[in-house]
Amino acid sequence: MKSLFIPKECNPEETRVALIPADAEKFVKAGWSVNVESSAGVKSGFADADYQKAGAKIVDAAFLKEAQFVASVGKPTKESIEARKPGSFHLSLLDPFNEKELLKDFAAHGVNAASFEMIPRSTIAQKMDVLSSQSNLAGYYAVIKAAETINKAIPMMMTPAGTISPLKFFIVGVGVAGLQAIATAKRLGGRVEAFDTRPVVEEQVKSLGAKFVKIDLGETGQTAQGYAKELTPEQIELQRKGMAKVCAQADVIITTAKVFGRKAPRIITAEMVSGMKPGSVIVDMAAESGGNVEGTVAGKEITTENGVLILGIKNLEGRIPASASQMFSANVRNFIEHFSTPEDGFKLDIENPILKSAVVVYDGKITDERFK
């Protein structure tokens, strides 16, 4: 395969694009035919003319019929899958744990599909890992959004008119997003505390100059892929108790806690929120997977009775779509290049360990029992 198609995103709320002109140019130089649906990049700041300058062709949606390799940010619609030819390849975020019907559609139409979520978290695959590249930006943006929303200044200021003490941040969940949130809050001059159930992150938190909140939950740990293991109900209760005081003192809480393939853990209860100061802000980064905070509504800003603002912003990285698309596009390019030869372009070698995990539909079949 040496022909690439970048359709417009099927979700009208998506602001990112899967390939930016600079990466399109690299493919064109390597002899690929790059086809981009008209206005696919506009929301992230890339005009059709930029793609044309890079050597790509601007086409309409009907190009799907002849597309070989299709890359997008979000999942396609059923109609989009039905329009494709058998044997073509699709790459995007697919949310395979929750989109079983969509996978059936791919299988029924003989379209092979790879899910970015299922790329293994190995050193070699890091360059293709959109979960990391996008979480990093989302963690950054969560802090920027909180900073813009909160009614206080962030850094300590000593002035003749008095001293302003630094804003207190509490970051819950220290994966990729949490680490970037800590780093961003520190850069802005905040005082930062953080907690994660994986004890290994304590060192990382400290190295960013933040304080690790210690709560003894007994046996926790992580999977071989570095993901958190799900806590027992008793452990969640212990965690809530341990966190209540830190929450009450925090001006900003950013929750990023996720458990791979499961609903996000509900960590902050309404009672804990009711103990917070009026004007405090919570950004629940797990809003779309169920929320870490009781009272979060995905896509909404909720003010509680005691004046705490809970932001359930969806697609945080999509608020900075030029940067997010740049990273996403590099991940797409790295994926394709990794499995390509100069002569033949992309080759789907299903025995390759990365593809074995990422390809969720192959040859008319769903490859993983968990998605059937």
257 touches ligand NAD (CB under 6 A): yes
Catalytic, 129? Answer: yes
Q: Which amino acid is at 346?
A: F
| CA separation for the pair 336, 268 (Å, rounded) | 41
Q: What are phi and psi of 5, to 5 degrees?
A: -125, 130
The DSSP symbol for 11 reads S
Residue from 7, 96, 190, 265 binding ligand NAD (CB under 6 A): 265
Burial of 248 (C-beta count, 10 Å sphere; 0-12/13-18/19+)? middle
Whose CA is closest to 134, among 177, 70, 72? 177
Residue from 182, 213, 231, 281 binding ligand NAD (CB under 6 A): 231
**Which token pair is 251?**
């001006």
Catalytic, 329? Answer: no
The DSSP symbol for 40 reads T
Catalytic, 121? Answer: yes
CA 305 and chain centroid, separation: 31
**Which token pair is 37?**
């649906």
Cβ-closest position to ligand NAD: 175
Residue from 256, 280, 289, 340 binding ligand NAD (CB under 6 A): 256
126 touches ligand NAD (CB under 6 A): yes
Residue 62 or 224 with smaller CB distance to ligand NAD: 224
Catalytic, 240? Answer: no
| CA separation for the pair 250, 257 (Å, rounded) | 17
335 touches ligand NAD (CB under 6 A): no
Catalytic, 368? Answer: no
Which one of the listed residues 126, 187, 222, 319 is annotated catalytic?
A: 126
338 touches ligand NAD (CB under 6 A): no
- Strand (E) or helix (H) holding 162: strand 162-164
Nearest distance, CB of residue 132 and ligand NAD, angstroms:
4
Q: Which stretch binds ligand NAD (CB under 6 A): 50-58, 68-76, 192-200, 303-311?
A: 192-200
User: Using an 8 Å Cβ cutoff, are 191 and 167 in contact?
Assistant: yes
121 touches ligand NAD (CB under 6 A): yes
Residue 231 or 366 with smaller CB distance to ligand NAD: 231
221 touches ligand NAD (CB under 6 A): no
> Using CB under 6 A, which residues numbered 140 to 179 contact ligand NAD?
172-178
DSSP bridge pairs for 366: 361
Q: Which amino acid is at 147?
A: A
Residue 129 or 288 with smaller CB distance to ligand NAD: 129
Nearest distance, CB of residue 319 and ligand NAD, angstroms:
18
Residue from 23, 193, 196, 251 binding ligand NAD (CB under 6 A): 196
132 touches ligand NAD (CB under 6 A): yes
Q: Where does 250-293 have alpha helices with state H?
A: 270-274
User: Using an 8 Å Cβ cutoff, are 16 and 314 in contact?
Assistant: no
197 touches ligand NAD (CB under 6 A): yes
Residue 121 or 319 with smaller CB distance to ligand NAD: 121
Residue 42 or 238 with smaller CB distance to ligand NAD: 238
User: In what side-by-side order are the strands of the sheet with 365-366?
Assistant: 57-59, 33-37, 3-6, 69-71, 89-92, 112-115, 359-362, 365-366
Give the number of other CB atoms < 10 A from CB of residue 370: 11
Residue 33 or 126 with smaller CB distance to ligand NAD: 126
185 touches ligand NAD (CB under 6 A): no
Handedness of CA 55, 57, 58, 64 (dihedral sign): negative
139 touches ligand NAD (CB under 6 A): no
List the catalytic residues: 121, 126, 129, 132, 227
Binding site for ligand NAD (CB under 6 A): 121-123, 126, 129, 131-132, 135, 172-178, 195-198, 226-228, 231, 239, 256-260, 265, 267
